[in-house]
Amino acid sequence: MTDSQLKELMKKTKDVWQRALYDEYCAYIYTIAANKLRNCGTIEDIEECVADIFIAIFSSLQSEKAYSGDLKCLVATIAKRSSIDLFRRLSLKNKRTIPIDELEAKLTPFHDELEHASDRKELKGILLDCVNELGDPDSSIIINHYYYGRSSVEIASDLKMTTSSVQKRIQRARKKLKSLLFKAGVDTEW
């Protein structure tokens, strides 16, 4: 059916032209609504949207008895806008509600991360205590070398030592630190 035939039917009774418009554009409108709502809506949401679109089209055409434009453009515009509006409403609603299974799945990794962070914090505390137990200048050499990433030459210049003595102290301090950590219950490979 062409636009001109539909416009002729609009001059007749309301039921006749509305039924003809529905028969002509139902599949087209359903496709538009389904494409816009496929990721967030159910089939019932799509069908409800199609019904709302037809109500909006009928209202628009009744208020403009002498509509002179392309009917397909009007139908497409109303269908797209109505579908997008419903998409926004459904998206907001879906963002606020989270199924309990998804919530549990999201919280489990967080709990594991929290436990891991707690373990790391405890390990850092033990490591710092063991480094401080080394005494000066070994503790400051280890902190400068491993924590601040400074070279043996820089450390030697600050502590007024030779580079070779700093390297030797790092080597000895690592061995001593390994045994202190083992005594503290930390068993890692160095």
Instruction: Say what the pTM is.
Output: 0.48
Residues 53, 100 contacting (CB under 8 angstroms): no
Residue-range domain boundaries for the chain: 3-96, 100-183
Reported as a single tens digit per residue, the pLDDT across 79-101 is: 999 999 988 888 877 665 556 66
Residues 37, 45 contacting (CB under 8 angstroms): yes
Tell whether domain 100-183 is in CATH 3.30.930.10.
Answer: no
* Lowest-pLDDT choice from 5-9, 56-60, 141-145: 5-9
Question: Which option is the CATH number for 3-96: 1.10.8, 1.20.120, 3.60.21, 1.10.1740?
Answer: 1.10.1740
* Lowest-pLDDT choice from 13-27, 29-43, 56-70, 148-162: 56-70
Q: Do domains 3-96 and 100-183 have the same CATH topology?
A: no
